[in-house]
Amino acid sequence: MSSQELKCRSCKKKVVSPVMCMNCNITFHPSCAVQAGYSKDAGIVCCRQEVGTVTRMSASSLSSSDIDAIITQLSDVLQVQFGKFKREMRNEYFEQIATLTWKVTELALQHEVYVKDIAEMKMAVDTSRPENIDLRGKIDNNVGGCHSAQELTIEFHGVEISCFLMWRNLELGVEEEYATVLTVLRLDKKSSKPRPMKVITACSEVVLEVLKRNKRMVKPYRMYNDRTVLQREHLTKLRNEVTEKEAKCEIVVIRHINGQPRIVQSKN
């Protein structure tokens, strides 16, 4: 089939100079690809609905109003009470979260906070028995659907950032929440050696309070985020201070036992 006969996946009209998906050869108008949130520079992975594995996007085409809307929407979605989730809507929900999380991360990278180019984002989904996946990703048949989680993994320069999203059974009296903590290295002005600085990128207010009370999370680290997602003014501060564009990730899990939140898991 020649390019004259190709149709745009988005607007369904004929496209003469298509931008093509590097995974399944579906074509777009370049403008339609940008509007859909795909990167025409890096190649387009447009088949995430069919395959659900890898998505690659770029924030270069996003306006400031788009970014504000994305941050607001991500914040709202993350703060939704897990008990309100409908299990039949699970796939659509995580598809939305994947897109929003990726765009917010791209925003940070666009401001040259960590690194400029990213490899890919992968959605780790167990399609066989997702109701039996607990927060640590282990399959436990005894869970009986009391915990359910999906994991989003953003990978760049060999570094993976994992965001856990889950349901919780309030009848158990045990609740868990998560936080994603990025550790960026910046050069100390006195010693000229890299010094770690932690930034909370996504967590609830309860998690944040626990992290603030935990001494190892306070000094010598700076807490730029006081709500749920990385804000633009915090990115500006980081951009001015981070000279060593390296980062690693730490997942902190908070478990509520008898109403008292405590850190039960921390891994690099």
Place of tokens 């590097």: 22
* pLDDT at residue number 11: 74
* pLDDT at residue number 181: 52
* pLDDT at residue number 150: 34
Q: Which two tokens stand for residue 117?
A: 């180019």
* pLDDT at residue number 98: 43
Domain parsing of the chain, residue ranges: 64-267
Q: Compute the distance between CA of residue 58 and CA of residue 77 in angstroms, rounded to an integer.
A: 21
* pLDDT at residue number 156: 28
Q: Compute the distance between CA of residue 240 and CA of residue 245 in angstroms, rounded to an integer.
A: 12
Closest CA to 101 of 152, 45, 41: 152
Q: Which two tokens stand for residue 145?
A: 């659907």
* pLDDT at residue number 128: 34
Give strand ranges (E) for 91-173: 120-124, 147-156, 159-168
Give me the DSSP letters along 181-199: EEEEEEE-TTT-SEEEEEE
* pLDDT at residue number 9: 66
**pLDDT tens across 197-246, in order?**
555 444 444 555 555 565 444 333 333 333 333 333 444 444 444 433 34
Q: Name residues of the chain where pLDDT drops below 70.
A: 1-5, 9-10, 17-28, 30-31, 33-268
